[in-house]
Structure 1
Amino acid sequence: MAEVGYRLNFARSWRPRAFKEVVGQTTPVQLLANSIARDIYFPVYLLSGMRGSGKTTVGRLFAAALNCERLVDFCAGSCQWNDLPCGACRSCQLMQRGEHPDFIEVDAASYTGVENVRQIIDEAQFLPVVGRKKVYLVDEAHMLSKSAFNAFLKMLEEPPASVIFLLATTEAHKIIDTVRSRSFQLFFDPLPFDTLADYLIQVAQKEGISCEREAVEVIAQQSEGSVRDALTAFEQAGVAAEQCITIDLVRGLFGLVSFAAVFDLYHALFVRDIPRVFDVVSEFAGQRRSLAHGWSVLVEVATGALWFEKSLLMPNLRAYEKDFQRLIAAAPQGFFARALDLFFKYELLLQKTQNQKQLFERMIIACLEFVGGSGEVAVQFNPVEQVKDSKGAGAPVSSVPLVQAVMEQPLVETSGNVNTEAEVWKKFLAQVRPLCKDPILLSVLASGCFQGVDSKVVRVMFPKSFAFYQELLINARLLWQPVLEECFGGGATLLPFFSTEGEDAGRVRPVAGHDKGPTAELVKKNSAKVSMPVQKRKQMRGGTAVDISDVNAWPTANMLVGLFPGSVKLYEE
């Protein structure tokens, strides 16, 4: 397969030279072969698909087959369609050397303007020199400007009988509708995982490279269905290997997080082994690839676990069947569905933040909220959006809460004895007081109105104006969480509510026994400070409430309301 004369890289030396050598693209190849067999040609073919899936290669093969001298034999039935192009005739040899006068390949990423398109239109008027058809292959066609596309429309709709246009693109949605409607579209799908792994094994055997099947499967998986990416990565691994391409070599070479480490991380979460959790995260951060890759492996294992719960196994995770059996047996019910929701909320933040390790650790520790002290799933929460500071830095201004802050949620009845449990809350406050050196934190806790306990979830109502101190409450969790579990039992979780001003404010009262002394004075002072802007706002008359429930339409308003609770109104002067 290799080119004669000098050593080419695998992506070029293993480029197919006949339809039968194309891997995993049966449908588009068959459609083009049928077009040749029936002598039915469309003026424009739109080849769309992911990178490295064979669009440009198949376009070149189609152009070579159109002008191949054995085309007559194929039409007569003396040879098979997959034997085209023959590679031996004069036309095919010119194609292989890149010297065919009737095949013009245009890089639309470099020639995007109207003038370039007009040049193509002028040249298309001339008849072919060697073959039956003149073929233009426009690679990365989506890069053409709108003006260039508009100039191209008439030619694409009614080209000369001897001209065929092939448009190759990785982003078909960027091709304007008027061009797509004039095209015969062929879709090039990513290669299936097993097909790509088998192809790499075949390449290894013919190139004389020793490799482990597991290592090849990892390369195929990381290539995401791209043959070119897989061949490039495989060749790189072959250069790095002394004797055999091993799984450890591949992971070390490309900085991949092992599935074994991810399974270990999940098990550490299930038993609340915090030191081990941080050790594994540190190992992730030590890899050469970003923690975003660790995120993708976490998501893949969690998705595989959801499949396994339904007695299904993802094709690329078949080697980990026993690991999934142990994982599902140890996992709390509903853990992976909740964890996936959390992971996807962090995806964009991980891409933007300059402190990936810290944010990744917060994400992992947040998963502990889904694992109660006795293994049950605890309440869920949402991360606070990341905003830029005044200097434009991308660091998060607000941390991700470790407890759920529920805004304006109505009170619910609890099944326990509220009076007895309220005494336990008083006991909790009494035990926290000597441990806490921050008077502001004490005032925040003392301002809470105990609502009850339901399934070890301690519900406490705070004034909505105190939502500003939510961060303070979260950061002090290591101080009050052990006391909370001592008073309400292992696995207890604090669930704070923040009531609205006005009708709900009357329901917020400090717990009995804590309305006197220095703490009560701090409550009054802080309440006055926070509520002063509220009083000023009440003096303003009129105003129309704005509905910002559509997060996509009002992203900034929702972010501000999340950080500074309140409502949005429109005032006219």
Structure 2
Amino acid sequence: MDHIELNLTRKWRSKNFQEVVGQPLAIRILQNSLYLKQFFPVYLFSGQRGCGKTSTARIFAAAVNCARLPEFQVDPRKVALPCLQCESCVAMSKSQHPDFIEIDAASHTGVDNVRNIIDSSSFLPLLSHKKIYLIDEAHMLSKAAFNAFLKILEEPPASVIFILATTDMQKILETVKSRCFQIFFDPVEHQVIQDHLEKLCIAENIQFDEQGLSVIARQADGSVRDAINLLEQVRFATKKVSKEAVLSILGHIDESTLLQLFEKILTCNVQDLLQFCSSLEKYEISVEYIWAQLIELVYDAILIKYQVQPRQFTDLSAGHILFIEKSDLGMLTALFEMLCSQEQYLAKTTKKLRFLEMMLLVHISQESPQGTKKKNKSFVSGNEQKHQSDEQVITPENQWQQFISHTKVFDDLVLVTMFHDAKFIEFDATSNLLTVSFLKKFTIFKDRLEQEKKVWHVVLQNVFGHQVQCNFTFEHVSENIKPVAVQDRSVRIESTPPSSSLTPSRSVGNKLDISDTNRWQLANELIQHFDGIITEISGNMYE
């Protein structure tokens, strides 16, 4: 029979503990368990896809039944487990071991399948001293199957070890978790995956460059298997695994193209933006990837504005960093908010590129009312800034109105009303002191204004700068409401007959005694700010 050529994922599957990639803690725990010869009846391996759970479970099963286990327990530095040479290890490598049973829980979810496991586990091992059951994708078992499993998981036969592997720990019943020794498999780090891919390419004579492998490692998102599968796709598509080839296979744009799009958005250049998006139609690109990368780029730009090291775009040129530092923070936060809030709708539409264009146009139209070719003052320098200074002047009053427009999204209607009715006094650019006068009647909400400072102060900083300080007074009187004399109003309250809309069952009684401030705390606070008296009303006040 001809030799079957395996794909890279199967060919490079780990065969011993030393070959497992990026899981040092999990491997150390299992090796110490072997060294001390202390085995738990039930193990639970959890982690994301492609991080080595199933491979590690097979290696551990082979090591438990390896003939050289006693030698390993004497001197673990001289013996590697599994040895891959004894009868048990050879049977494991050929997937023919009678005492190793691997079950896919995704296709064996019922109670009857679990009962078959329970019945077969009562038999002694045939070849080795331990019978090992590996239940992969254990979270797919039904609740009834889990309940049928509980007794044998708590008190399994002495010759049996169960290993449960899952990618969704939340679906495992708590009663099952409490019976297991849990081992967590972390997502593999980007650099570890890249080093592993480089080793693989050298062994397989695959031409590559480090930037191409770096893109693959980042796209794998912690999964070694996904990284190898993507490497094999690129391998069959091109002669060399380069950054351009990987981006072409994935349908992604490179970093420079993304930065061009980012600049066109911030400069509010609608014509260039539309032409740029039109040029993207020539290629098979992933709009979801562009959207996700824009979110990350805007986020990193905000970090740069706060003098914090960016998370993903760490290799930005000095020119791009200078451009970001000159950009408006309020526009960056608004763009970030738009991208995050509209992402769910991107997944629902079939015209994804059109949706991206329209969302960016809506964003630009909100930031730039004039529409096309308006340059933000932050991006103009030298003679051009001097030339446009007469056409575009930003006054403190305009900034305050901009702040008022942003407050409309607040959930607290009291805050919205307070700021909307407030009177702008002045803004001292030297001391960054903003003076505003609220309506006098809102004095009772002074504490509430301070409690909600984290909500409105961020918006205020985006408009007036991060050094802005506030001087709020409560002396403003609304011009639309004429004050009423106290004596006249008291006469009306006492002498005016009940309205015809009130039913006879409702009557106004005598003045209430609110001298007890502990009992009538709110009433006393109202009297301090509003003239009048408080009387008792009997009957149904809602009629």
Normalising by the smaller structure, the TM-score range is 0.5 to 0.7
Q: 1:133 to 1:330 in 2, by over 3 A?
A: same
Q: Secondary structure at the match of 1:106?
A: strand
Q: State the alpha-carbon separation in 1 of the partners of residues 277 and 480 from structure 2.
A: 44
Q: Structure 1 residue aligned with 2:61, among 47, 60, 63?
A: 63
Q: How many Å separate the matches in 2 of 1:381 and 1:69?
A: 77
- 1:330 Cα deviation after fit: 3.7
Q: Which amino acid aligns with 1:341?
A: E
Is the alpha carbon distance of 1:207 and 1:330 closer, same or farther for their aligned partners in structure 2, counting shifts above 3 Å? farther
Q: Distance in 2 between matches of 1:412 and 1:57?
A: 66
For residues 231 and 113 of structure 2, the distance between their equivalents in structure 1, rounded to whole angstroms, comes to 38
1:413 to 402, 414, 422: 422
| Structure 1 residues 182-211: Cα deviation after superposition (integer angstroms, max 9, x where no partner) | 111111111111111111111111111111
**C-alpha distance in structure 1 between counterparts of 2:172 and 2:139, whole Å:** 5
SS in 2 for 1:318: coil
For residue 178 of structure 1, report the CA deviation from its aligned partner.
0.6
SS of 1:248's equivalent in the other structure is helix
| Alignment pair present for 1:374 and 2:340 | no
Q: Distance in 2 between matches of 1:222 and 1:285?
A: 23
Distance 1:167 1:70 in 2: 25
CA gap of 1:53–1:507, structure 2 versus 1, over 3 A, is farther
In the TM superposition, 1:238-317 aligns within 5 A as 238-242=235-239, 244-284=240-280, 287-314=283-310, 316-317=312-313
Letter in 1 for 2:64: L
SS in 2 for 1:137: strand
CA drift at 1:241: 1.3
Which residue identity does 1:350 align to in structure 2? L
CA distance in 2, matches of 1:138, 1:129: 20
Q: Which amino acid aligns with 1:360?
A: L
Determine the C-alpha separation between the residues in 2 that align with 1:189 and 1:284.
37
Q: Which residue of 2 aligns with 1:54?
A: 52
Q: Aligned letter for 2:111? A: V
Aligned to 1:29: 27
Displacement after TM superposition at 1:379 (Å): 5.3
SS of the equivalent of 1:202 reads helix
Equivalent residue in structure 1 for 2:188, among 187, 191, 203 = 191
Q: Deviations over 1:468-516 (max 9, x none)?
A: xxxxxxxxxxxxxxxxxxxxxxx9xxxxxxxxxxxxxx989xxxxxxxx
Farther off after superposition, 203-212 or 327-336: 327-336
In the alignment, which of 82, 86, 104 is matched to residue 85 of structure 1?
Answer: 82
Deviation at 1:138, TM superposition (A): 0.5
Number of equivalent positions: 398
For residues 276 and 192 of structure 1, the distance between their equivalents in structure 2, rounded to whole angstroms, comes to: 38
Q: Tell me, yes or no, if the aligned pair for 2:305 and 2:325 is still in contact at 8 Å.
A: no
Q: Distance in 2 between matches of 1:305 and 1:215?
A: 25
> Using the alignment, how far apart are the partners of 1:327 and 1:211 within structure 2?
33
Structure 1 residues 158 and 358 mapped into 2: Cα distance closer, same or farther (>3 Å)?
Answer: same
SS in structure 1 at match of 2:329: coil
Letter of the 2:333 partner, please give it. A
Q: Does the C-alpha gap of structure 1 residues 203 and 364 become closer, same or farther in structure 2, counting only changes over 3 Å? A: same
Q: Match for residue 466 of structure 2?
A: none
> Structure 1 residues 298 and 78, CA, compared in 2 at 3 Å: closer, same or farther?
closer
Work out whether residues 102 and 135 of structure 2, in 8 Å CA contact, stay in contact via their aligned partners in 1: yes
SS at match of 1:122: helix
CA distance in structure 1 between the aligned counterparts of 2:407 and 2:93, rounded to whole angstroms: 64
- What CA RMSD, in Å, does the superposition of the two structures yield over aligned residues? 3.0
What is the DSSP-based 3-state SS (H/G/I as helix, E as strand, rest coil) of the residue aligned with 1:45?
strand
Q: After the TM superposition, which of the residue ranges 25-34 and 333-342 deviates more from structure 2?
A: 333-342
Paired letter, 1:206: A
Aligned twin of 2:540: none
Equivalent residue for 1:488?
none
Structure 2 equivalent of residue 538 of structure 1: none
Q: 114, 117, 129: which one pairs with 1:117?
A: 114
CA contact (8 A) 1:270 1:330 kept: no
Change (3 A) 1:270 1:40: same
Residue 204 (structure 2) aligns with: 207
SS at match of 2:134: strand
For the 8 Å contact 1:370–1:379, the answer to whether it is kept is no
Q: Which runs of 4+ in 1 moved over 6 A?
A: 402-408
Partner of 2:124: 127
Q: Secondary structure at the match of 2:213?
A: helix
In structure 1, C-alpha distance between the alignment counterparts of 2:70 and 2:77, rounded to whole Å: 9
Tell me if structure 1 keeps the 8 A contact 2:46–2:182. yes
Deviation (angstroms), 1:78: 5.6
1:389-538 → structure 2 map (5 Å cutoff): 409-410=416-417, 411-415=420-424
Residues 315, 36 of structure 1: CA spacing in aligned structure 2 closer, same or farther, 3 A cutoff? farther
Return 403-412 or 223-232, whichever deviates more.
403-412
Cα distance 1:190–1:174, how it changes in 2: closer, same or farther (>3 A)? Answer: same
Quote the Cα distance in structure 2 between the aligned partners of 1:222 and 1:67. 38
Contact 1:55–1:188 at 8 Å: present in 2 too? yes
Could you give the per-residue CA deviations for residues 324-359 of structure 1, whole angstroms, max 9, x where no partner exists?
524423421244333222211112111123332333
Q: How has the CA–CA distance of structure 1 residues 222 and 94 changed in structure 2, closer, same or farther, with 3 Å as cutoff?
A: same
Offset, 1:79: 4.0
1:159-189 deviations in whole A, cap 9, x for unaligned?
0111111111110100111101111111111
Q: Is the 8 A contact 1:285 1:291 kept in 2?
A: no
How far apart in 2 are the matches of 1:316 and 1:209?
A: 28
1:352 aligns to 2:355 (yes or no):
no
Tell me the CA shift for residue 260 of structure 1. 1.4
Separation in 1 of the partners of 2:319 and 2:209? 20
* Contact persistence 1:263–1:323 (CA under 8 A): no
Per-residue CA distance 1:104-155 (angstroms, 9 max, x = gap): 0000000000000000000000111111211111011100000000000001
**Is contact 2:300–2:312 with CA below 8 Å preserved after alignment?**
no
For residue 433 of structure 1, what is the aligned residue in structure 2?
none
Matching of residue 341 in structure 1 with residue 344 in structure 2 = no
Aligned to 2:451: none
Distance in 2 between residues matched to 1:237 and 1:323, nearest whole Å: 33
Segment drifting more, 121-130 vs 403-412: 403-412
What amino acid is the match of 1:167? Answer: L
Percent identical:
36
Residues 373, 176 of structure 1: alpha-carbon distance in 2 compared, 3 angstrom cutoff: same
Of the three residues 136, 142, 150, the one matched with 2:139 is 142
SS at match of 1:251: helix
The Cα shift of 1:97 comes to: 0.6
Partner-residue secondary structure (3-state), 1:57: helix
User: Residue type of the partner of 1:254?
Assistant: L
Deviations 1:261-302 (A, max 9, x none): 221112112222112222333455555354222111111212
- Matched residues in 2 for 1:246 and 1:367: separation? 35
Instruction: Provide structure 1 residue ranges, at least 5 long, that are not aligned to the other structure.
Output: 383-401, 418-454, 456-490, 492-505, 509-573
Deviation at 1:235, TM superposition (A): 1.1
- For 2:336 and 2:345, the matched residues in 1 are separated by 15
Query: 2:217 touches 2:227 (CA, 8 Å); kept in 1?
Result: yes
> What is the CA distance between 1:156 and its match in structure 2?
0.7
